[in-house]
Amino acid sequence: MNARLTKRSTTYCLICLLCLAGAAKGGVPASARAGQDNTIHTIDGDSDAPLWRVDLHPLGYPFGDSKLQWNRSLETFDTVDFVSESVVVATFVTRQSVPGIQRRDDPNRVRPYLLHAIFLDAATGTVRKMMDWPSDDENAGVFPRYDGSFLFFSMEHIVLYSADWKELKELQLPELQVAHSALAGIAESPSGKILMLHINRQQSALCIQVSTDSLDTSRGACTIPRQFTVSDDEMAASDYKITNLGYGDSVYPLKAGEDAYLVEIPPFGTPGSRGPISRILISERGKIARVLCDSNQIGGCWVPQFASNEFVVVYGMGGLSLLDLRGESNGRNSVFEKNFDSNQPWIDPLGRPVRPSAGGQRFAVALNEAVGTESIIDDSVLTRAVPSRGLSSGDLPAVNADHVEIYDLPAGRWIYSVKNKRNQFKQIWGLGLSPSGSKLVIDSGGVIQVYALPPVTQAASASH
């Protein structure tokens, strides 16, 4: 079984066109703009110097086999994160030698892959614990609960571990073991309390909501785009449609389903319309979906990521905005927006470049370095060009890393920028914030680096 969704490259191109067309129109709709100072303020002049740096290659990280790590579906599984304020976990996959003849139902058979987890002290980088799990598939990973406990996920089961690395409970996943089933995506709420699985089946799709403290589940039929996000209470996804661009009439439209998580919505778009039409849909199970930043403007709504239960970041190659879910639901609830022109660093919309802190105080954004572009003209539609590099990356937060920006929600502003001055993270394979938002961790392909961030009070009062 391969968990990578079919037509992935087509979807990526469509989202790129969606985001780039939005940039040509000025990014976020005018009704969603806020007149705040969005300049990046670097608090620490030595922001490119990490607290510590650990190379995982002596600990088993494979040399020269980046494709194996990429095949883990990095848009789903983090390579690095904080399991608590004091512990960082870094994960990677290795291959094992498998005998020629094995019974599939033999519980003692040798599995072709091992997922390795290295637990590091967040203050010093010293190794606290090393664990590994055999797997039949590269698609395996660790999902922190941010209190020290965590989940191990494979295509067979989910296992809950305590903060002292003891197995507490197991949840079998028989839905992924049947023929014609595939894992389409996983999303974890910023707090780490909810894990949502999206499973494609031959004629339908299934959403499984898992409470990470007990492994209790709630199952329901659903049809959602592959790239979705969840909070503790809600789910958000971008419902977009592209017409007359040679890609067909629709891409992953949201539909109704029995006990659906995202309930039925009326059709949208008009016959003969050009370019992508999109909107962000937010729903609670069993309730009518809310629509955020609904717009017929090209590129009006992009890819969502919950920053907390109250805020969602909407981003694309051309920029991002922060929406307050407690505000109005007609596109006028933007806290801020930031656009990029063709000569500025850009965001990879499929690389999950936006990572929130579990405490809901901050989020980090990984940006790629600016690259050359070419114009794409479709009758009256003029978009910023698809960059010549990075188009096929898709799953890395930043394949040609430029810098990482940190936004502080209580301060209401950008407060930090970690620059790639010394080429210390040419590629960003994973990144994460500590629960309080006081530290940032970056995986540059088996090399883990942690940076200290200023406290909220300093960020709010600093003068520049």
Q: What is the pLDDT of residue 256?
A: 36
Closest CA to 304 of 363, 250, 358: 363
Q: How far is CA 303 from the centre of its chain?
A: 10
Contacts of 32 (CB under 8 A, 6+ apart): 293, 321, 323, 331, 332, 333, 334, 337
Domains recognised in the chain with CATH numbers? 8-97+112-461 (2.130.10.10)
Residue pLDDT, tens place only, 258-302: 333 333 333 333 333 333 345 666 665 545 466 666 554 333 467
Instruction: Please check the confidence at residue 191 and state whether its pLDDT lies above 60.
Output: yes
Residue scoring higher pLDDT (8 or 197): 197
Closest CA to 98 of 84, 109, 87: 109
Looking up tokens 């785009």 gives: 225
Q: What is the pLDDT of residue 246?
A: 31
**132 residue type, one letter:** D
Residue pLDDT, tens place only, 195-251: 999 888 877 788 899 999 999 999 887 766 667 889 998 888 876 543 333 332 233
Q: What is the pLDDT of residue 399?
A: 87
Query: Please, which pLDDT band fits residue 355 given cuts at 50, 70 and 90?
Result: very high
Highest mean pLDDT among 99-113, 271-285, 358-372: 358-372
Q: What is the pLDDT of residue 344?
A: 80
Q: What is the pLDDT of residue 293?
A: 62
Average pLDDT, the chain: 74
Lowest mean pLDDT among 126-135, 145-154, 173-182: 173-182
Residue pLDDT, tens place only, 398-410: 988 999 999 999 8
| Tokens found for residue 455 | 């406290």
Whole-number percent of the chain with pLDDT over 70 = 64
Rounded Cα distance between 22 and 10, Å, is 18
Residue scoring higher pLDDT (170 or 180): 170
Q: What is the pLDDT of residue 426?
A: 82
DSSP result, 137-156: SS--EEEE-SSS-EEEE-SS
Q: What is the pLDDT of residue 372?
A: 54
Rounded Cα distance between 432 and 306, Å, is 14
Highest mean pLDDT among 30-34, 123-127, 206-210: 123-127
Q: What is the pLDDT of residue 388?
A: 37
Q: How far is CA 62 from CA 57, 93, 126, 128, 133, in A?
A: 6, 8, 20, 21, 16
Q: How many helices (H) and strands (E) does the chain have?
A: 3, 30
Instruction: Please check the confidence at residue 31 and state whether its pLDDT lies above 60.
Output: no
Q: What is the pLDDT of residue 254?
A: 37
Instruction: Please check the confidence at residue 363 and state whether its pLDDT lies above 50.
Output: yes
3 state SS of 174: helix
Q: What is the pLDDT of residue 462?
A: 34
Q: What is the pLDDT of residue 380?
A: 28
Closest CA to 350 of 392, 402, 404: 392
What's the rounded mean pLDDT across residues 307-320?
Answer: 86
DSSP structural state of residue 387: P
Contacts of 313 (CB under 8 A, 6+ apart): 304, 305, 306, 307, 320, 321, 322, 323, 354, 356, 363, 365
Residue pLDDT, tens place only, 414-454: 889 998 887 788 899 999 999 999 999 999 999 999 999 98
Q: What is the pLDDT of residue 328?
A: 55
Residue scoring higher pLDDT (4 or 349): 349
Query: Please, which pLDDT band fits residue 390 given cuts at 50, 70 and 90?
Result: very low
Rounded Cα distance between 72 and 109, Å, is 22
